[in-house]
């Protein structure tokens, strides 16, 4: 079955033809954004009131362009750069929610999904695809959506963990062979460098790290190469963690949850990162309601969370 799967591929326009007006659709995010399906969906002009639920997406977001409001309503569960202007102008919505609570929106039926647009790795000899670089809320989406519409990309890493999608679960797909959208870090500023030095000094040997995205977490990671037996249990990580693994600073030896493995929900970075997670059994991807469950997190030793804030109010 898995060997003959390419013959079942159809054009992206045919994949998204199953989407109807007035429905709720999940869109896979970050580096796993299924760009050909998004483009094909937005090329249609016969739709109205399609609600698109997603975390931060990569690349253009034509569904949130001015003038498309009656056709598509973008609902960000984590607002990324392509949607911020549309949200500010009330052409799109943002739902403030803990990442750990997002999967339950779909699993509980509070947000019943008619379709899930996802990007997956090619099926293995067992007929199983993986959600690749982003498991997060996508696992709950593919489990609950009435239709699973996919881009099966030859260049999507096959990743390990609780992120499997059986090929038979996919109702229609387009086969592609294209590079993933990459996220390259910005050059480090002097302020970020100083913050990185101060924070790195607070990280003890044997700590378990949770990492956010951006210049400050990257600045901290760049200064941890002298540490020993660090572990990673995080909702996401980027290229800097690969450096720490290669330098020997990250061993995951002392963790209680996922000992010996990096535990994450999604990754965001460059081709180097994608190659690192591809078919790597020492990196385990899990849904974000588990990676971000405080009852799970607190089992690990010396947890240190490194994040950036866009705004902080007077109460802290």
Q: Which residue shows structure tokens 């588990």? A: 290
Where would I find the beta strands (DSSP E) of 219-289?
231-232, 236-237, 262-264, 266-267, 283-285
- For the stretch 163-177, pLDDT in tens is 999 999 999 999 999
Chosen domain end from 176, 204, 233: 176
According to DSSP, residue 1 is labeled -
CATH code for position 149: 3.40.1080.10
pLDDT of 1 strictly over 60: no
- pLDDT tens across 58-84, in order? 999 999 999 999 999 999 999 988 899
Domain assignment of residue 315, yes or no: no
* 57 and 161 fall within a common domain: yes
**Are both 297 and 217 inside the same structural domain?**
yes
The verdict on 287 and 159 lying in the same domain is no
Band the pLDDT of 310: cuts 50, 70, 90. Answer: confident
Residue 181 domain-assigned (yes or no):
no
pLDDT in tens, 297-306: 999 999 999 9
Rounded percentage of the chain residues whose pLDDT exceeds 70: 99
User: How many domains, the chain?
Assistant: 2
pLDDT higher than threshold 80 for residue 314: yes
Q: What is the pLDDT of residues 209-228, one digit of tens each?
A: 999 888 999 999 999 999 99
Q: Per the domain annotation, does 70 fall within a domain?
A: yes
**Are 58 and 172 members of one domain?**
yes
CB 135 within 8 A of CB 236: no
User: Quick one: 88 and 231 in the same domain?
Assistant: no
Q: Do 59 and 145 fall within a single domain?
A: yes
State the pLDDT confidence band at 185, using cuts at 50, 70 and 90: confident
Catalytic residue, chosen from 69, 71, 235, 246, is 235
Does the residue 231 lie in any domain?
yes
Q: Which helix (H) or strand (E) holds 172?
A: strand 172-176
Co-location of 116 and 202 in the same domain: no
Which CATH number covers residue 213?
Answer: 3.30.750.70
pLDDT of residue 2: 59
Average pLDDT rounded to a whole number, residues 289-313: 93
pLDDT tier at 192, thresholds 50, 70, 90: very high
Distance (Å, whole) CA 142 – CA 114: 10
Same-domain check for residues 47 and 134: yes
Q: What tens digit of pLDDT does each residue of 232-247 get?
A: 999 999 999 999 999 9
Residue labelled with tokens 């519409």: 149
For the chain, how big is the Rg over CA atoms in Å?
Answer: 20
Encode pLDDT of 109-131 as tens digits.
999 999 999 999 999 999 999 99
- Separation CA 204–CA 188 (nearest Å): 23
- Arithmetic mean of pLDDT over the chain: 96
CA–CA distance, 113 with 128 (Å, rounded to integer): 22
Residue 316 inside a domain? The answer is no
| Average pLDDT estimate for 173-183 | 96
CB burial of 83-118 (b: ≥16 within 10 Å; e: otherwise) equals beebbeeebbbbeeeebbebbebbbeeebebbbbbb
Domain stops at, among 129, 151, 176: 176
Choosing from 150, 176, 202, the residue where a domain stops is 176
pLDDT in tens, 269-283: 999 999 999 999 999
* Cα distance between residue 98 and residue 150, in whole Å: 26
182 found inside a domain: no
206 and 164 assigned to the same domain: no
Cross-strand pairs, 51: 24, 73
Told to judge if 235 belongs to the known catalytic residues of this protein, a careful annotator would answer: yes
- Please check the confidence at residue 207 and state whether its pLDDT lies above 60: yes
As beta bridge partners, residue 277 has: none
**pLDDT value for 311:** 82
Is residue 216 domain-shared with residue 252, that is, in the same domain? yes
Please indicate, yes or no, whether residues 163 and 195 belong to a single structural domain of this protein.
no
Q: How does DSSP classify residue 256?
A: S
Which is more confidently placed, 311 or 132? 132
In a domain, 92, yes or no: yes
Structural domain contains residue 312: no
> Domain range spanning residue 206?
190-306
pLDDT surpasses 60 at 105: yes
Same domain, yes or no: 171 and 194:
no
């Amino acid at each position: 079955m898995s060997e003959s799967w390419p013959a079942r591929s159809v054009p992206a326009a045919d994949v998204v033809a199953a989407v109807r007006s007035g429905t709720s659709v999940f869109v896979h995010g970050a580096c796993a954004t299924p760009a050909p399906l998004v483009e094909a969906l937005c090329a249609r002009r016969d739709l109205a009131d399609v609600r698109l639920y997603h975390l931060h997406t990569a690349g253009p977001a034509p569904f949130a362009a001015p003038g498309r409001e009656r056709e598509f309503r973008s609902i960000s569960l984590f607002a990324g750069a392509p949607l911020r202007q549309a949200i500010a102008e009330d052409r799109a919505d943002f739902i403030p929610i803990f990442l750990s609570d997002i999967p339950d929106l779909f699993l509980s039926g509070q947000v019943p999904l008619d379709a899930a647009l996802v990007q997956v790795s090619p099926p293995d000899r067992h007929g199983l695809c993986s959600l690749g670089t982003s498991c997060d809320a996508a696992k709950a989406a593919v489990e609950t959506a009435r239709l699973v519409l996919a881009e099966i990309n030859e260049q999507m890493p096959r990743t390990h963990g609780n992120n499997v999608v059986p090929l038979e679960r996919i109702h229609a797909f387009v086969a592609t062979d294209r590079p993933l959208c990459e996220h390259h870090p910005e050059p480090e500023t002097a302020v970020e460098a100083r913050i990185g030095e101060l924070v790195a000094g607070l990280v003890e040997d044997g700590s378990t790290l949770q990492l956010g995205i951006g210049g400050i977490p990257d600045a901290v990671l760049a200064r941890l190469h002298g540490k020993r037996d660090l572990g990673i249990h995080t909702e996401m990580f980027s290229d800097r963690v690969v450096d720490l693994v290669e330098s020997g600073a990250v061993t995951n030896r002392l963790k209680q949850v996922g000992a010996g493995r990096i535990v994450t929900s999604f990754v965001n970075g460059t081709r180097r990162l994608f190659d690192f997670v591809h078919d790597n059994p020492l990196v385990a991807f899990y849904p974000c309601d588990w990676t971000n469950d405080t009852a799970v997190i607190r089992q690990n030793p010396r947890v240190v969370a490194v994040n950036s804030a866009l705004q902080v109010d007077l109460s802290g």
